[in-house]
Amino acid sequence: MMTRAPASCALLFIFLVLLAAPTTALSQGYTVEPAFGATGTAAADVVPITFWDLTLREMVIIGALALSPTLVFPVEIFFAIKFLSCLGFRRITRSNILANSIRNTLNIIIRSRPGISYIELLRETGISRGALTYHLTIMRISGKIVLIESHGITGYFENSGKYDQSEKKLLKYLRQETDCQIILALATSPLMSRRDFVKILGVSGPTVTWHMKRLIDDGLLKLHKDGRFSRYALSAGTLGYLKKYGDSITVMQGLPAGARPHAR
């Protein structure tokens, strides 16, 4: 047991020497220089500035932050718009909105075909969805056009007060092929049943019911119960509008010459 002690001590000594060796070698390779720059002098202290030394934009942003962080984004938008105006971008107003050729074309189409849908405008103008959405939004914000939306269908109208809400709904539906067929058929033959429309339209009974429900919800049709059968008729308001427009409705809606409403 006594013979192992010197060997253990020798191994411990060698281990400690190996651990110390890298430290000694590394310490000899370092060159310590001042951290203040090449001249060895300390850098100048930062010069403090006051609130009034800031730019106008920075003052406004700090003021917005003091009130509410949510105000920063509108402030940034404001300065971005001011920057664009400096580059020659003209502010869009109701008086100059139609100076743009695309918006002028859209205005002519919407006025001539009230109730026209987004898809129809997309097809007729041939511009991209993004461009169409942008120009329609600008025209709405400026009050040049209005839209009516119900049951997933949107119709665009000139903002002239020319049409009331019920009239807009009728004009919008007249631009939908199946709904238009239903309305014109009832203008000629009131109290038709669902079975009649299945034959006329060539669609299923549930599809007819779906179209009828939309038209009834928007006040264009009335439902009459005849025993087991449901019969449909145009509302008084719808009949009045069809009589008002007469043959001119085929021009506004782009309907074929033979599909003319003859309200009884």
Residue 208 lies in a domain: yes
Residue 72 lies in a domain: yes
Q: Look up the pTM and report it.
A: 0.58
Higher pLDDT, 108 or 96: 108
Residue 48 lies in a domain: no
The per-residue pLDDT for 115 is 92
pLDDT digits (tens, 9 = 90+) for 133-170: 999 999 998 899 999 988 888 899 999 888 999 999 99
Which residues lie below 8 Å from residue 14, measured CB to CB, with a gap of 6+? none
Residue 118 lies in a domain: yes
Which residues lie below 8 Å from residue 47, measured CB to CB, with a gap of 6+? none
Whether the predicted pLDDT of 232 surpasses 50: yes
Counting the structural domains of the chain, the total is 3
Residues 80 and 119 in one domain: no
Whether the predicted pLDDT of 196 surpasses 60: yes
Residues 61 and 133 in one domain: no
Q: How far apart are CA 234 and CA 188, in angstroms?
A: 10
Whether the predicted pLDDT of 1 surpasses 60: no
Q: Of the candidates 113, 133, 158, which is a domain's last residue?
A: 158
Q: What CATH code is carried by the domain that includes residue 248?
A: 1.10.10.10
Residues 112 and 132 in one domain: yes
For 94-109, what is the mean pLDDT? 87
For 219-238, what is the mean pLDDT? 90
| DSSP single-letter state for residue 48 | P
For 228-233, what is the mean pLDDT? 88
For 187-214, what is the mean pLDDT? 93
Q: Which SS3 state, helix, strand or coil, does residue 221 take? A: strand
Q: Of the candidates 66, 86, 106, which is a domain's last residue?
A: 86
Higher pLDDT, 217 or 8: 217
CA atoms within 13 A of residue 87's CA, in its CB half-sphere: 7
The per-residue pLDDT for 82 is 55
Residue 12 lies in a domain: no
Cα–chain-centroid distance for residue 129? 11
**First and final CA of the chain: distance in angstroms?**
126
The average confidence (pLDDT) of the chain is 75
Q: Which SS3 state, helix, strand or coil, does residue 127 take? A: coil
Higher pLDDT, 108 or 95: 108
- Could you give the percent of the chain with pLDDT greater than 70? 58
Q: Which SS3 state, helix, strand or coil, does residue 156 take? A: strand
pLDDT digits (tens, 9 = 90+) for 65-83: 667 666 655 656 655 555 5
Q: Are the C-beta atoms of residues 106 and 142 closer than 8 Å to each other?
A: no
Q: With bands split at pLDDT 50, 70 and 90, how would you rate the model's confidence at 216?
A: very high
- Per-residue CA distances from 51 to 57, 58, 61, 143, 156 (Å): 12, 9, 12, 42, 51
Q: How far apart are CA 186 and CA 171, in angstroms?
A: 16
Tokens of 196: 């009649």
Nearest-5° Cα angle at 37, 35 to 43: 90
Q: Are the C-beta atoms of residues 106 and 121 closer than 8 Å to each other?
A: yes
Crossing angle for the helix pair 118-125 and 101-112, to the nearest 10 degrees: 130
Q: How far apart are CA 255 and CA 210, in angstroms?
A: 23
The per-residue pLDDT for 193 is 93
Residue 178 lies in a domain: yes
Cα-atom radius of gyration of the chain, to the nearest Å? 39
The per-residue pLDDT for 151 is 81
Q: With bands split at pLDDT 50, 70 and 90, how would you rate the model's confidence at 243?
A: confident
Residues 238 and 177 in one domain: yes
Q: Choose among 109, 146, 140, 139: nearest CA to 124.
A: 109
Instruction: Give the range of the structural domain holding residue 61, as residue numbers without chain letter.
Output: 54-86
Residue 24 lies in a domain: no
Q: How far apart are CA 55 and CA 57, in angstroms?
A: 5
The per-residue pLDDT for 192 is 94
| DSSP single-letter state for residue 116 | B
Residues 172 and 247 in one domain: yes
Q: With bands split at pLDDT 50, 70 and 90, how would you rate the model's confidence at 56?
A: low
Residues 177 and 243 in one domain: yes
Residues 135 and 208 in one domain: no
The per-residue pLDDT for 72 is 56
